[in-house]
Structure 1
Amino acid sequence: MSSDPRDQSSTDEATADHLEDRPESLGTRILRLLKDPETTGDLLLAVKAVIAATSAWALSVGVLGTDVAFMAPWTALLTVHATVHRSLSRGAQTAISTAVGMGLAFVIMHFLGVNIWTFALALFIGLMGARLSWIRDEGVAIATTAIFIFTSDDPMFADRFIELVLGVSVGIVVNMLVLPPLRDRQAARYVDSINRRMGAVLVDMAEEFSETWGMERADAWMEETESMSDELNSAWRMVKLARESRRENPRRLLRRKFYDKDHDIDYDQVLSHIDEGISHLRNLTRTMREATWAINSWDEQFREGWVRITCELGEAIADPDGDVAAQHERLDDLVTTMSRADELPHIQWPVYGSMLASLRHIIHIFSDVTSDRESRDPGDEATAD
């Protein structure tokens, strides 16, 4: 690590410029996109949906001998979701909603006949039934099933019901057997990304503060913290999905003998810590933004000490193996030095104190070993699940 943050900045900028001069090839971009966990997850889900629907159609035609095999592949397609638990839950809702739609169509067709008014009545009742809370996610299947039945030459309710059970069953089985996703490590990708971004902002602050800066830089830092908050929201959603993906998942059952609960990461706590860290970084940004016009000159001893600590803190946060806690002592030394300065009453100590306090809070948050190391895994393992 360079002792002078400006030298390190020059090296990083030269490297970035060198990379920008070499355009990324189409093959490289496609490969990077395919390695992205979200892309691979979407592709896998699409493949499983195709397998489920095709298998249900083949069984309906080849085994049941159905002439118009639409119910089985359709319900199989509706049953395949991002997690096994969601497939079971949505599959049950699909089965209930479809069965209700078939019953609704049977009653209306039997007693009122088939015409434009009974068709509209079936749709209206189906859509109102879709608002029931316990089938809300798949309740629209009531109306769509009624459409299928009304437009069929021969409804054959018994056969349609068998196809319904077949389609839901195939969808659940395929989702359970074909690489059911365990998204535990994808949350680590978000944690690592946010930590690296926070570290980069701190390093940039140090480099700018070592000389001078303007409102534009402070505004850019503020926008970056807002962007971090948006990414943190995505991380929260991924954690919830990861928690759901572990439920009723056969891959987790097979791994159980290798699974050590003592090493299970509490991502709720980790993300809460990161959220707090972003808040303190945003507060530091506001302080420095106000200081651009409130302070004409800075105490050089404070400037040099703050720049060194902030730069090294940013690098430590960005690096999963960085030692954030080492900055505690350096910050304490700076605080002690400044508190003993004879000219302390004559300098802008409220602003200085706010900048030091924000650093102290950030150091305390990211000194936590769990949030800085075990919960961060940006390597290939993060994309495997």
Structure 2
Amino acid sequence: MRLRAADSDDKGGSVHRALTALWDLRKDVTVTQTLRSTVASTLAYLVAIWLSDEPAPLTAPLTALLVVQVTLYSTLTTSVRRVNAVVAGVLIAVAFSILVGLSWWSLALIILASLLAGRLVRVDEFVPEVAISAMLVLGVTHAADTAWDRIIETLIGAVVGLLFNVLFVPPVYVGAAGDSIEGLARQMRRLMRDVGDEMTTHTPVELAAARLSEARRLDHGIADVDAALRQAEDSLRLNPRVKEGLLHRVVLRTGLDTLEICAVVLRVLTRTITDLAKERRDEDLFEPQVGAALEELLGQVADALVSFAVLVTTQTSQAAEAAEDRLTGDLAAASATRERAANLLLEGVQQHPRQWQLHGAMLSEIDRLLDELDTDHRSQRLLEELDKSTREQRERHPQLTAFAAWLREVKRPELKRPELRRPKLRRRRGRDKS
């Protein structure tokens, strides 16, 4: 009986894990995009059969396949560019069919004109689509009818793809971007702790150079995080699920900028340690007491990096307060250890002033890390970036900004009602008369 119960528990647990894994697939960008593109293309084909006279209007599902993107913002921009590309190509083809017809030199001219027109109308990656549309229309007998059918099918595909993403809003990829930021911070912490472990032992030049190479490879991780963050930023734009998209974008972007600066400083720090290892090939890098203080200091700065990443990626206010308290504690402990390590280094340099400049460089680089992770520094930078983004948006879309301001005034009409101000003026005049 016990064996049967254990077997049933194992089966139940395996089924639960399978269902959990299947549910987690909805967060996978590839799976989500594949299903959405398939459904949208099929719907576009059905609508095109209903509205178009063509027996097989494949341009509509092809347009929907290209239009439906991972985010609503990219879907809207892609729809506009693709429709522009098709309309430009069709107009060029109709003009050439009326004037010169189809020959080898007219084909060359239409391809050249289509590619140039694609650059002028700014369709970006759909520049070849302008030439393709022009050639398809130019190669048929009834160019005008084919041109109109192609425009209709393209519009159907674009509208269906856009409406599909409006009705079934794509997911927000802030969580994936946050995970990538935390992953980068943990990678930097591992490297910094490895560097700290070498402060109390003899460090060969080859090992120090390997740490330097590992620090240089952080650039690849930063590029991956930047790609994930750009996808998250696009998913926040025009998304009805998000109320404070600008704030989310600025918080994540400034957080990545800070980690990128810290990665550069960490690379310089490993360069300094490599130079010090070259000068001290047959001895430890530091005295035992100094090395222990530096190891503790680097470990605390490494913990502060992860606490900073958690603070940046936390979306709830209660968890953000806890993350900020943890970061403040890590920075306070690191600052105290830094003072102790600096005093020990000063005493050592006074006795043996060898490579004193490298000791000073190490402290300067650690100070830069602590300054970048400081909460006050981050708050100031957030305010600056928010003001900058708001100002750029106001300058880029002045009419939209004015309309939003008008809506705010409409929602609060009491601020503009003159009868609410008259009593104050009357009282003031009465006091003047008295």
Give per-residue Cα distances to partners, 1:172-202, cap 9 Å, x unaligned. Answer: 1122233424222333222211211111111
**Pairs aligned (count):** 338
* 1:290 positional shift: 0.8
**Is the Cα–Cα contact under 8 Å of residues 93 and 139 in structure 1 kept in the other structure?**
no
Change (3 A) 1:34 1:278: farther
Change (3 A) 1:90 1:264: closer
Change (3 A) 1:345 1:34: farther
Which structure dedicates a bigger proportion of its chain to helix? 2
Structure 1 counterpart of 2:330, which letter?
Answer: V
Hey, what's the Cα distance between the residues in 1 that align with 2:39 and 2:46?
10
- Correspondence 1:324 to 2:330: yes
Q: Secondary structure of 1:130's partner?
A: helix
Please name the residue that 1:167 is paired with: 157
Structure 2 counterpart of 1:334, which letter?
Answer: A
Q: Secondary structure of 1:251's partner?
A: coil
Please name the residue that 2:363 is paired with: 356
Give per-residue Cα distances to partners, 1:26-82, cap 9 Å, x unaligned. Answer: xx9xx9999699x82133223222222221111112343421312222222232223
Please name the residue that 2:31 is paired with: 43
Q: Which of 260, 275, 293 lines up with 1:275 in the alignment?
A: 260
Please name the residue that 2:120 is paired with: 132
**Is the Cα–Cα contact under 8 Å of residues 338 and 344 in structure 1 kept in the other structure?**
no
Structure 1 counterpart of 2:265, which letter?
Answer: H
**Is the Cα–Cα contact under 8 Å of residues 94 and 138 in structure 2 kept in the other structure?**
no
Please name the residue that 1:143 is paired with: 131
Give per-residue Cα distances to partners, 1:137-165, cap 9 Å, x unaligned. Answer: 32322111123224456552333332222
Please name the residue that 1:368 is paired with: 375
Q: Secondary structure of 2:273's partner?
A: helix
* 1:87 positional shift: 1.9
Hey, what's the Cα distance between the residues in 2 that align with 1:370 and 1:43?
40
Hey, what's the Cα distance between the residues in 2 that align with 1:52 and 1:149?
25
Larger Rg: 2
Q: Which of 81, 84, 88 lines up with 1:93 in the alignment?
A: 81
Hey, what's the Cα distance between the residues in 1 that align with 2:64 and 2:25?
27
Give per-residue Cα distances to partners, 1:103-129, cap 9 Å, x unaligned. Answer: 222222233233444333322321222
- Correspondence 1:233 to 2:239: no
Say what the alpha-carbon RMSD is for the aligned residues.
Answer: 3.3
Query: Which of 89-98 and 240-249 deviates more?
Result: 240-249
Name which structure has the greater RCO, CA cutoff 8 Å, separation 6+.
Answer: 1
Give per-residue Cα distances to partners, 1:205-238, cap 9 Å, x unaligned. Answer: 1222321222222222222222212221332333
Hey, what's the Cα distance between the residues in 2 that align with 1:162 and 1:260?
35
Q: Which of 269, 287, 290 lines up with 2:272 in the alignment?
A: 287
**Is the Cα–Cα contact under 8 Å of residues 57 and 70 in structure 1 kept in the other structure?**
yes
Hey, what's the Cα distance between the residues in 2 that align with 1:133 and 1:276?
38
Change (3 A) 1:347 1:121: closer
Query: Which of 332-341 and 298-307 deviates more?
Result: 332-341
Query: Which of 353-362 and 202-211 deviates more?
Result: 353-362
**Is the Cα–Cα contact under 8 Å of residues 67 and 161 in structure 2 kept in the other structure?**
yes
Hey, what's the Cα distance between the residues in 1 that align with 2:288 and 2:153?
79
Change (3 A) 1:330 1:338: same
Hey, what's the Cα distance between the residues in 2 that align with 1:264 and 1:124?
41
Query: Which of 286-295 and 177-186 deviates more?
Result: 177-186
Q: Which of 343, 368, 375 lines up with 1:336 in the alignment?
A: 343
Q: Which of 181, 188, 192 lines up with 1:198 in the alignment?
A: 188
TM normalised by structure 1 equals 0.76
Give per-residue Cα distances to partners, 1:313-332, cap 9 Å, x unaligned. Answer: 33453464664211111111
Please name the residue that 2:167 is paired with: 177
